[in-house]
Amino acid sequence: MKDLIKALTEAYGPPGYEQAVREIIREQISTVADSVEIDPLGNLHAVKKGAGEGLKIMLAAHMDEIGLMVSYVSDKGFARFTKLGAVWPDTLIGNRALFTNGALGVINVENWPRHDGVDHSHKSLYLDFGATGKADIPVRVGDVAAFQRPFVDLGQVMVAKSLDDRIGCAILVETLKQLDQTPHELHFVFTVQEEVGTRGAMTAAYKVHPDVSIAIDVTDSGDVPERKHFEVKLGAGPAIKVMDSGMLAHPGLKNWMVETAQANDIPYQMEILTLGSTDAQAMQLAREGSAAGALSIPCRHIHTPSEMVSTNDVENAVKLLLALLKSPANLGD
């Protein structure tokens, strides 16, 4: 599974440019799904038909990663940019931005080095391509970049630039590969443009019209210095979402996930996230709505070029999804 995670996280895929990620996933699932298709927006949609009278369940993980778009090119050969998704300025200085044409830009801030405590906003950052002027700069306004960082396997943890949410994609691929039977009609959807507004999940859920919707994504980790009042931590199991800033999880779905984890001795945590949301927000509100929730992977350093997750949490997420999808749904009244 780590080979797949490496391939997915190192692939280029900012919002709207998820093609390379999609092709890796399609190659992995084409022989294990009953059908695979790409919708007009770019979502990859795989169906696994059930053997019983279960529910229609949509599982979603987004393929895109945060990125940058060139907004201005100066006569001296430097470029300004705007962000695609929640890109934090103080994580960018010294990082490298890779463009679709292979161009590589180094990110820095005006008047570097700065020791005056001034906030490094996006407006003070620029891209340096080593160009001598506007004539030989290798990008133009509207060109899109993702960050360049390799996947690193540290054994108990993995570090990469786009574990948000390629780790969710890998979990769904592995779940689909291992799932031998289910009473449900399952729709595994690898979505586009989540980082700029859960757009792919919105259109996909409208098409699928699911009874139950589950997003597989990352969440914050509360076990780093000075991070207070957040219970989720790395290595303690996947987190079952209770709420985030965009949605309240369906109580019956949440309880079904908890009871399944307990019955199968799978470690889990409960997640209440006050900042941020997932594709579950869009799936919950599609058409007349669905019973929606999320299974989250604790992640340190979210939305930086070096995100970190626990290998055990990933493996236990697959185990929990398999146990859940093989059993009849229990959503309560």
Q: Which residues are catalytic?
A: 194
- For tokens 């906030």, the residue is 119
Other residues' Cβ atoms within 10 Å of the Cβ of residue 226: 4
47 contacts: CB under 8 Å, gap ≥ 6: 33, 34, 35, 36, 185, 186, 187, 188
Any bridge partners for residue 98, and if so which? 104, 146
Query: What type of residue sits at position 219?
Result: T
Q: At what angle do helices 2-10 and 19-29 cross, to 10 degrees?
A: 160
User: In whole angstroms, what is the distance from residue 136 CA to residue 127 CA?
Assistant: 14
What is the DSSP secondary-structure string of 254-301? HHHHHHHHHHTT---EEEE-SS---HHHHHHHSTT--EEEEEEEEEES
CA distances from 17 to 12, 27, 205, 231, 314 (A): 8, 18, 21, 35, 26
Chain mean position to CA 209: 22
Which distant-in-sequence residues (6+ apart) come within 8 Å of 210 by Cβ?
55, 56, 57, 58, 187, 283, 286, 290
Short-list 270, 314, 288, CA closest to 61: 314
Q: In which region does residue 195 sit, left (phi positive, over 0), alpha (psi from -120 to 50) or beta (all else)?
A: alpha
**In this structure, what token pair is assigned to residue 164?**
């948000």
d(CA 30, CA 332): 35
User: Amino acid identity, residue 15?
Assistant: P
Cβ neighbours of residue 117 closer than 8 Å, sequence gap 6 or more: none
